Amino acid sequence: MFIKPELLLYLGSALIILWGIAHLIPTKPVVNGFGSISADSSRIIVMEWISEGLTLCFLGFLVFGVTFWGGSANVVSIIVYRSVAAMLIIMAGLTLFTGARTAIIPIKICPVIKIIAAIFVLGGSIL
Q: What's the CA gap between 67 and 71, in Å, rounded?
A: 5
SS3 content of the chain, % helix, strand, coil (to 5): 85, 0, 15
Note the pLDDT tens digit of each residue in 40-67: 999 999 999 999 999 999 999 999 999 9
Give pLDDT, residue 77.
97
> What share of the chain has pLDDT > 70, as a percent?
99
The pTM of this model reads 0.93
pLDDT band at 103 (very low <50, low <70, confident <90, very high): confident
Domain range annotation of the chain? 5-125
1, pLDDT greater than 70: no
